[in-house]
Amino acid sequence: MREFSKAFLWGAAASAPQTEGHSLENGKSASTWDEWFKLAPEKFNEQQGPSDTSNVYEEYSKDIQRMKELGMNSYRTSIAWTRLLPDGRTVNPEGTAFYKAYFSELKANGVEPIINLFHFDLPWWLMEKGGWEIRESVEAFAFYAKTAFELFGDTVKYWTTFNEPLVHIECGYLYGFHYPAIVDFKKAVQVGYHTLMAHVRAVEEFRKLQIENGQIGIILNISPAYPKSQSSEDLKAKELADLFNTNSFLDPAVHGEIPEKLITVLKEHELTPVTETQDKELIRQNTVDFIGLNYYQPRRVQAPTTVHFPAEMPSDFYIPYDMPGKRINPYRGWEIYPEALYDVAVMMKEQYRNIPWYVSENGMGVAEEERFMDEQGMIQDDYRIEFMKEHLRELHRGIAEGSNCFGYHTWTFVDCWSWLNGYRNRYGFYRVDLDNHFERSLKKSGLWYKELIEKNGFLD
């Protein structure tokens, strides 16, 4: 039996834009996703936009009862900036009432809310000004964070500033996947820097309020880099991949400083962002209480074949390595490598002062899950159960060696809308029937998770 601590947090994760629905209703203003869907609906799978999400705005009370039935003691979701502050300054009373009721009901049912402030959903009014490219975004976010802390700090004790900040940086400014679909390395670095400073300023506002028993962190997507070989060139590629993708946010969040090597590399390649004189001290003073790490896949890298100077893209520092024989989730094209979660646990212990951390996302997206539905209408998602079990085995190993991990959250509780992919891949413990008023039905993995929580562990 692999048992976890009695205080271990078992739960699931989601976001406001992917679950709430009612995306331009009840006082909410447009985000970049709302506008992009209007501008280019053909980019979205089956033209499913942000209004077609799982209707948690109306279903949250029933969903919380479902969480309680599974025995979950925690749940992470986000606030929509555009619902709380539609114009950036004026509080929306309908949005406030919704979140107060939502978070209070979670608490009343023994489900600890961990509330995130930003999950890729930038307000359109800010995007029109330049979004994360402009310094104004830092103070706009700080004001939003302060407002949320003041309104909900009596109910919510655990806060995070950003979910996977690398995603809106890379997808929006390097690879053209998300709006504004710009490919510009220098702009991407500036966007990253303003995101970091927005996080820092939000932490500063949180500290000023001195919320009783309150804690604040950040959620980062972690894909540890593994080199193709032990050659000096491949090892350097691994170091740079980790520097850009892991250390860039983890170091300032935990240690209070941007890595010197990263500063040097950016300077060498004329990528240094515009900063302000007080920034270094702000970063130093405003570290976090805990870290959330989303883990799905490793990053296999090798030395680049073509190098530009100054660098034009991250591929001038490292390129992917397609390792023969790797296990793949064919629906996402992602490698399945649970062993990396053990490596992450060791990294947090040895390199990040063993700060409290938790697995804030881990899960498996599969398309056309109806293929696995039995005669009673339950999806037999044994593949998801095996995926979780393998990762929990490695996590348990890391904890046994002293890593300070306090929880495990899956992505996600009910099937959710997934940006450009819509509902192509499903992740939830509950199936959402899009043709029947978002009706929910439990999958086999939900029963397994219930048993896992009851036993606080699993038989190996």
- Take residue 279 and report the two structure tokens written for it: 């920034």
Contact 43, 420 (CB under 8 A): yes
**Separation between Cα atoms, residue 391 and residue 90, nearest integer Å:** 44
Could you confirm whether 164 is annotated as catalytic?
yes
Reported in sequence order, the residue ranges of 30-157 that DSSP labels E, i.e. its strands, are 74-78, 112-118
CA neighbor of 84 nearest in space, from 76, 94, 95, 74: 95
* Beta bridge mates, 442: 430
CA neighbor of 91 nearest in space, from 161, 144, 55: 144
Residue type, 297: Q
Residue type, 259: P
Check 164, 170, 205, 394 and give the catalytic one: 164
Compute CA distances 23 → 35, 53, 86, 176, whole Å.
11, 9, 12, 24
Q: What is the DSSP string of 33-48?
A: HHHHHHH-GGGSGGG-
Q: What is the DSSP string of 380-444?
A: --HHHHHHHHHHHHHHHHHHHTT--EEEEEEE-SB----GGGTTSEE--SEEEETTTTTEEEE-H
Contact 29, 124 (CB under 8 A): yes
Could you confirm whether 454 is annotated as catalytic?
no
**Residue whose structure tokens are 């048992």:** 3
Contact 113, 154 (CB under 8 A): no
**Separation between Cα atoms, residue 195 and residue 206, nearest integer Å:** 17
CA neighbor of 215 nearest in space, from 163, 291, 157, 254: 157
Contact 440, 42 (CB under 8 A): no
Within 10 angstroms of residue 107's Cβ, the number of other Cβ atoms is 14
Which distant-in-sequence residues (6+ apart) come within 8 Å of 145 by Cβ? 117, 161, 201, 202, 205, 206
SS3 78: strand
**Residue whose structure tokens are 């941007």:** 258
H or E element that contains 301? strand 299-302
Virtual CA dihedral for 106, 124, 250, 426, nearest 10 degrees?
60
Burial per residue of 60-73, b for 16 or more beta-carbon CB atoms within 10 angstroms, e otherwise: beebbebbeebbbb
Check 20, 59, 170, 361 and give the catalytic one: 361
- Catalytic machinery residues: 164, 361
